[in-house]
């Protein structure tokens, strides 16, 4: 039938979505209907549609949402929905963009008009701009903006909410180690995902020198990934 389902532990078959609504992003197969269903589980959401769209860094997920009640604080709603999604889905299934609409666009036949859905505004993923203050913050913000292909990055902007992912985090680490000439652990990108937090963490480590062997291996890995 083209329907996608999963068998629960109690033996019940649970409908997930349509096979033709499955996409592949960065090697992961993603069922868009599963994300839509997760969003609809939140009491603040009445309608949800998730698409894969073209972004400056390749395909990304965008969720289009109609709230249950009007006049909500959209920023607060987005933050609540991100927490809700992350609690039940892997990171690669959390949309990069959450677009709040008054109503879904419809065709003359009353069906969803996907082509009429607006392009996401990337500024919605950015916090109120706070400029870098220290030299390290300036250096990291410059690297992030270049890797993420955005005009500027504030010190409180979240790397992953701006479209970053594990491969881009590896690029940031490689460039940061080369520029700063100090060890930048890859895991730090996931634990400290704003420029401000990462800079403070690196400063707290002191002047830990770059492990040349690890740096060479990381550089080789990046060369392979960029040529893939």
Helix segments in the chain, DSSP class H: 32-40, 74-88, 135-148, 166-180, 186-191, 195-204, 212-226
- 10 within some domain: no
Mean pLDDT along residues 197-216: 74
CATH classification of the domain holding 183: 1.10.1200.10
Write down the pLDDT at residue 189. Answer: 92
For residue 142, CA distances in Å to 156, 175, 202, 225 come to 14, 10, 16, 22
137 and 56 share one domain: no
- A 10 A CB-CB count for 163 gives 20
For residue 128, the enclosing domain spans: 124-226
- 175: pLDDT strictly greater than 70: yes
131 and 158 share one domain: yes
- Specify the pTM: 0.65
132 and 181 share one domain: yes
Mean pLDDT along residues 82-108: 92
Q: What is the largest CA-CA distance in the chain?
A: 64
- 220: pLDDT strictly greater than 60: no
Which of 119, 139, 163 delimits the end of a domain?
A: 119
- 1 within some domain: no
78 and 130 share one domain: no
Which of 119, 145, 163 delimits the end of a domain?
A: 119
Write down the pLDDT at residue 219. Answer: 55
- Alpha-carbon span 157 to 168, nearest angstrom: 15
Which of 74, 93, 119 delimits the end of a domain?
A: 119
- 36: pLDDT strictly greater than 90: yes
pLDDT class of 228 with cuts at 50, 70, 90 = very low
- 9 within some domain: no
Query: Exposed, middle or buried by CB within 10 Å (0-12, 13-18, 19+), for 173?
Result: buried
128 and 109 share one domain: no
98 and 183 share one domain: no
70 and 151 share one domain: no
216 and 136 share one domain: yes
**In the chain, how many domains are there?**
2
- Alpha-carbon span 36 to 81, nearest angstrom: 12
- 192 within some domain: yes
- Alpha-carbon span 123 to 162, nearest angstrom: 9
95 and 142 share one domain: no
- Alpha-carbon span 142 to 132, nearest angstrom: 10
- 126: pLDDT strictly greater than 90: no
CATH classification of the domain holding 49: 3.30.300.30
36 and 111 share one domain: yes
64 and 131 share one domain: no
Residue 58: beta bridge partners?
55
- Higher pLDDT, residue 55 or 130: 130
- 4 within some domain: no
134 and 113 share one domain: no
- 12 within some domain: no
- 216: pLDDT strictly greater than 80: no
Write down the pLDDT at residue 227. Answer: 46
């Amino acid at each position: 039938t083209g329907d996608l389902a999963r068998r629960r532990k109690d033996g019940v078959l649970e409908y997930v979505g349509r096979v033709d609504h499955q996409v592949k992003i960065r090697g992961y197969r993603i069922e868009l209907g599963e994300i839509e269903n997760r969003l609809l589980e939140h009491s603040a959401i009445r309608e949800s549609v998730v698409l894969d769209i073209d972004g400056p860094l390749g395909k990304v997920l965008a969720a289009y949402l109609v709230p249950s009640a009007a006049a909500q604080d959209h920023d607060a709603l987005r933050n609540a929905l991100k927490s809700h999604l992350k609690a039940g889905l892997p990171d690669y299934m959390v949309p990069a963009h959450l677009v709040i609409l008054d109503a879904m666009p419809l065709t003359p036949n009353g069906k969803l008009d996907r082509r009429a859905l607006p392009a996401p505004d990337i500024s919605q993923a950015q916090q109120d701009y706070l400029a870098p203050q220290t030299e390290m913050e300036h250096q990291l913000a410059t690297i992030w903006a270049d890797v993420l292909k955005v005009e500027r990055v504030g010190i409180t902007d979240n790397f992953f909410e701006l479209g970053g992912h594990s491969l881009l985090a590896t690029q940031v680490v490689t460039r940061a180690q080369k520029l700063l000439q100090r060890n930048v652990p890859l895991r730090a990108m996931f634990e400290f995902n704003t420029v401000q937090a990462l800079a403070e963490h690196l400063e707290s480590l002191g002047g830990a020198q770059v492990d040349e062997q690890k740096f060479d291996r990381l550089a080789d890995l990046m060369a392979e990934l960029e040529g893939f």
